[in-house]
Amino acid sequence: MALEHKYLMEQCLEHHNAEAHYIEGINQYFFHNNPSKALDYLRQSAQGKHDKGEKDFRHPKMRTNVNYIQQLLEKDQKSIQ
């Protein structure tokens, strides 16, 4: 059962499913204590127009890492171009 869940979650994330990104963002933030990864997943969720992802991405507790994450994303985008 756990392997099926992991496989399905990976497939959803690969196909840019906004809800899967939201769930993984919450998982990373609260269970793995990894706010950087959480913000990345929540950002992707918000871009996918997931209402809770957009709201949580802008939450004050998470906002402390937003500037750092945005700088990294801008740097990645520049390197791609």
pLDDT in tens, 1-42: 678 888 999 998 998 888 898 889 889 988 898 888 888 888
Which pLDDT does position 2 carry in this prediction? 77
Which pLDDT does position 79 carry in this prediction? 64
Total domains present in the chain:
1
The secondary structure of residue 26, as a DSSP letter, is H
Which pLDDT does position 14 carry in this prediction? 92
Which pLDDT does position 80 carry in this prediction? 60
Is the pTM above the cut of 0.75?
A: no
In this predicted structure, the answer to whether residue 44 has a pLDDT above a threshold of 80 is yes
CA 18 to chain centre: 9
